[in-house]
Structure 1
Amino acid sequence: MIITRHGEVFDEINPLTTGAAPDFQLTDLANHKVKLSELADPIIISIFPDINTSVCALQTKHFNVAAAENKAISFLSISNNTPEEQATWCAAEGVDMTILSDAKNEFGDLYGLFLPKAKLLARSVYVIKSGEIIYSEILSEITQEPDYDKALAVANAAIDTK
């Protein structure tokens, strides 16, 4: 898959879009280990290239608001910024959600989202339920925002009613 930036070829990846969601464990801003398989379903994973850019900030803020309003959904935000960069940004922006650092590109490699030339993660969103990817959006234009409403609709439809 070709990833563009402002319409120009930026990098190329082979992302995982369906099937089993590879389990991973990353560290959050409080230095706690967060493991995908230990989270309650459904799970929205918001992946962005760099927390210090405008579109990434918009994406993270949008899902932060959604996380506060949708307690039945587990939300993760992942970038390969350092935890210090993420914590500084969150403190400045008043964002309080689970943000994970993939500084070693473990998640990016598992999901095929690491942009080798740019050394960033491709902008994308996944919805996971019962260890399966039930929705994925990998943005071919890195400067575009994801379809928040679609991801939230899929996640809301996947909430178990008891």
Structure 2
Amino acid sequence: MSQPLDTALPFTTTPTTPDALYKKLGVYCVAWEQMVLNAMTYLLGGEYQGGSYEIREYLNGAFALIIPDQDAKKVVRYGHSEESMTLEAASFVANLMAFSACNSTAIDKEDEAGNLMLHDYYFALKDVVSGRYGFIIDASAGDGTRPLNEDELATVQTEAKPHPERTAILRMID
């Protein structure tokens, strides 16, 4: 008997293909994906043996490359921080680190559009982890984001659920 998924909700999954990532990140897709994988290796050290990732998309337009493993907790280290968390939670940390690193690259390249996009994805994913949705990523909006409309707000209020390991995830990145 399967247990209900205890994670940040709701989300949909997208096939993990280069095209799916390119549609989201453009020229940053390869670097971002590699940074997620490298961050997992860095965070977990010898406990990381790879895994089967899925792309999760959230109500606010955020997305993440996640290992959906909620079984055993692993020790995750970053700088002087150390937390015990699932591979799924570590995946959120790695994604946030990758968005931040790619954002720095966009700034160095003076790519204003890339900087804004990566900034928005970072904070949208952080909102997902926290279970609060402050904005929607929308490419048709002038600056790439917009406030939630009434229907979206109602959906968020009834369906949005923070990640159960949000405190540990946020401590790792803050």
* TM-score normalized by the length of structure 2: 0.26
Which protein has the bigger helix share?
Answer: 2
Bigger radius of gyration among the two: 2
* TM-score normalized by the length of structure 1: 0.27
Greater relative contact order (Cα < 8 A, sep 6+): 1
